[in-house]
Amino acid sequence: MAADEFPTPQPGPSWARLRVRFACSVVAAVVQLVIFWEFVLGALPFLWPPREPTTQWVSFIMVSLGSFVFLSGLVGTLVGDQLYDRYGLFADD
């Protein structure tokens, strides 16, 4: 078996890039919360106590919270990578 049969491991993103992504994701989540504040206030009565059928209630929670987490994470990652690549924010030098 030759030594070159196995590719060299590629490490994941650096901790500095992950910090920028996380910071941008938090900012995106706050902006999203501000924009959809009326929806959040309107949805609070549906969150507790659980409504029947339970599967509909769980689906509502998963869609509502998942959309906030997924969208803010996606936007935060895209913007964070652009900021990190362009300006080298929090770069470990």
pLDDT digits (tens, 9 = 90+) for 28-75: 999 999 998 998 888 777 777 776 787 877 887 888 788 888 999 999
| pLDDT above 90: residue 91 | no
**61 in a structural domain:** yes
Considering only residues 92 and 53, tell me which one the structure prediction assigns the higher pLDDT. 53
Per-residue pLDDT, 85: 87
Element (H, E) at 84: helix 54-87
Average pLDDT on 13-24 reads 88
Residue 92 belongs to some domain of the structure = yes
Residue 12 lies in a domain: no
The residue segments making up the domain with residue 80 are 37-93
31-39: list long-range contacts, CB under 8 Å, 24+ apart: 32/68, 32/71, 32/72, 33/68
